[in-house]
Structure 1
Amino acid sequence: MEPVNLFDLATRQSQWLAVRQTAIAGNVANANTPGYLAHDVEPFERVLERTTVSLNATQQGHLGFGASEAAFRTRAQEFDGAVMPSKNTVVMETELMKAGEVRRAFELNTAIVKAFHGMLLAVSKG
């Protein structure tokens, strides 16, 4: 089992959340566009499954902790509801709920990083 760097993991999740928020904003912006299919990003769990964590030497004598870049893939959302006559699949209520999930995830991510940073400071100060 490989060690996990919390700051690297938090950065990856923040990047993923930013991409998801962009997809949600695009859906909201195109809510009245005929034929527009709502998009979402793949779940963060799948991104983590594809990510390999490894040590990278950045300079001779130094070791850095890095992860391979995984692209966050957007895809058309699966839609089970009734399609509008314009063939648009954006449901505003769903998009607003997803935006709330992203906001809560950003807040949790920030709180965890802040707590971990505080622990590191406490340990380093002695």
Structure 2
Amino acid sequence: MQPIQLFDLASRQAQWLAIRQNVVAGNIANANTPHYAAKDIKPFESVMKDTGFQMAATNAAHFTDGMNAAQVTETGLIDNAEVKQSGNSVQLEEEMMKTGQIKRDYELNAGLVKAFHRMMLMTVRK
């Protein structure tokens, strides 16, 4: 029997979301700090491209995707950030939109794990 990769994938995304929320919170906290450069982390899609997960092919006609391991915690300057007169590039509107997106992604992640867990429990009961 093959191990179930969904729980590991959901755990990685939850970890990525927690790190991103921490970075966004730091941006919001430093919104009035002179010369503070707004930061963000790599999108989760690029993290997934760099992980060791591979799609299972049960038929020769199935497509597969090769992927490698990745670092989740890399941060960098936001390319399209507008720099204020104080030298600060934090835009509170964008940071608040990011927090809403993080919340939605986390709720989706938790909902999928919960549904998959219920499905597994129903299978074991029978």
Band of TM-score, shorter chain: 0.7 to 0.9
* CA drift at 1:70: 3.0
**Given residue 80 of structure 2, which amino acid in structure 1 is its aligned partner?**
F
Query: Is 1:79 matched up with 2:80?
Result: yes
Residues 30 and 36 in structure 2, CA contact (< 8 A), matched pair in contact too: yes
Report the structure, 1 or 2, having the larger strand content. Answer: 1
* CA drift at 1:53: 3.3
**Matched residue of 1:22: which SS?**
helix
Equivalenced residue count is 111
2-side partners of 1:88 and 1:40: how far apart?
15
* Sequence identity (%): 48
2-side partners of 1:125 and 1:102: how far apart?
35
* CA drift at 1:3: 7.9
What does residue 40 of structure 1 align with?
40
Query: Aligned ranges for residues 1-126 of structure 1 at < 5 Å?
Result: 5-53=5-53, 70-72=70-72, 73-81=74-82, 83-126=83-126
What does residue 65 of structure 1 align with?
none
Residues 40 and 76 in structure 1, CA contact (< 8 A), matched pair in contact too: yes
Gaps of 5+ in 2: 55-67
2-side partners of 1:105 and 1:39: how far apart?
19
Q: TM-score, normalised by structure 1?
A: 0.81
